[in-house]
Amino acid sequence: MDSEDDELPPTLVDVGEVENTKEEKPRKVPITIVTGYLGAGKTTLMNYILTEQHGKKIAVILNGEYVAADIEKTLTVNTGGEEVQEWLDVGNGCICCSVKDQGVNAIESLMEKKGAFDYILLETTGLADPGNIAPLFWVDEGLGSTIYLDGIVTLVDAKNILKSLDEPAQEELPTEGHEVHDGHSGPLMSTAHLQISHADVIVLNKSDLVNEQELQAVRERVEAINGLAKIHVTEQGKVPNLEGFLLDLHAYDSVGSLNISEKGHSHLDPTITTITLTTPVLTADQIPNLDAWLRSILWDSKLPSLESCTSEDNSSYEIHRLKAKLPLSNGEMKIVQGVRDIFEILDAPNSSSGNESEGKIVLIGKGLTGKAFQESFLATIKGL
């Protein structure tokens, strides 16, 4: 009887029961990169977050101190005011120098041990380049990671940032010297420039140490470098609420309106600027041409499809941040997100162009002014 029972066909199971037995899809946890030049107030801000009674379980990774020969990073978890410190082992190297799988897996392993967090904040060193760190957490959806990049926040010391931008440390100065633009002499690029150019949110901290005129000058200089970022003004790293400042940024979910105000401030900082291109409505079969154009300007720093391309057009330039909103003739909307040489072409949330008559591409980077980006884009899209 037992052997006969073993050969019987399996009992039918109700579909509802099967669905209930399936493992739930793990909730994705957002990670925000918090950067800022030396003395900007990152540690003060982190301490403020950890001691604030917000009721959220936030993991703060302090990526600045080397511990013994094996480099580990302190990770502090705050849950309703209770702090627990753990060591996050990322192997032989800091997070910004680790391979992607190593850095991401280290955090995911900790989450498995301690449970999922509501948010993760990664504080970088004062000299870190966020453009090197962001790709570590910009993980392809198909890889099934339980964390995702929510955005980059840069703290700015309102009292000293202009000095940092104009007079970088000696080791940061390029060997060829300084550029001169519209009578303004400045360094080719500093760490402060890099941190501002990559930001999705910029916090002008220590505003109580400057007067209104000085604060306005700082704001204009920052906007000249990065016209996309949201700007908040704070004192002593105290933010009125965490959402929108450091949390729930959703900087890579959508691109917003891309309405960059044309203030004509490119002369304020010749090193890094924000430029806007307008595009016609595209057809679906032009998307491969768009992809080819993006690969050329981001991977090769070359402007394709220019018959009269000059050495000036393809002279050295760097694109640090790219966002685009591109309507299609079929009524859909494509968005593009890019950091350095990594980019994605995505369907816009609730993808509908709303019969928009033109699109926008915003570029932030070094040496962008005076280049024929607009002409190159139009020629490539048309397949010329």
Segment 160-175, tens digit of pLDDT? 999 888 865 444 444 3
Q: For residue 240, is it within any domain?
A: no
Residue 296: is its pLDDT beyond 70? yes
Q: For residue 253, is it within any domain?
A: no
**Are 197 and 99 found together in one domain?**
yes
Instruction: Write the CATH number for 142.
Output: 3.40.50.300
**Are 58 and 139 found together in one domain?**
yes
**Are 229 and 357 found together in one domain?**
no
DSSP state for residue 299 in the 8-state scheme: I
**Are 149 and 45 found together in one domain?**
yes
Segment 176-204, tens digit of pLDDT? 334 443 333 444 578 889 999 999 999 99
Residue 289: is its pLDDT beyond 60? yes
151 token code pair: 């955005």
177 token code pair: 């010297």
Segment 56-86, tens digit of pLDDT? 787 777 654 332 223 344 455 554 555 555 5
Segment 41-63, tens digit of pLDDT? 887 887 777 777 667 787 777 65
pTM of the model: 0.77
**Are 280 and 138 found together in one domain?**
no
Q: Are 60 and 50 in contact (CB under 8 A)?
A: yes
**Are 217 and 293 found together in one domain?**
no
Longest Cα separation, the chain:
97
Q: How far apart are CA 329 and CA 337, in angstroms?
A: 21
Alpha helices in 202-243 (DSSP H): 212-225
Cβ contacts of residue 311 below 8 Å, gap of 6+? none
**Are 63 and 207 found together in one domain?**
yes
Q: For residue 239, is it within any domain?
A: no
The label of the residue with tokens 């060997």 reads: 175
Instruction: Write the CATH number for 339.
Output: 3.30.1220.10
**Are 331 and 220 found together in one domain?**
no
Alpha helices in 85-190 (DSSP H): 100-114, 130-137, 161-166
Note the pLDDT of residue 1.
47
**Are 129 and 213 found together in one domain?**
yes
Q: For residue 176, is it within any domain?
A: no
Domain region containing 133:
29-68+83-170+187-233
Closest CA to 131 of 154, 112, 111: 154
Note the pLDDT of residue 361.
95
Count of structural domains within the chain: 2
**Are 38 and 157 found together in one domain?**
yes
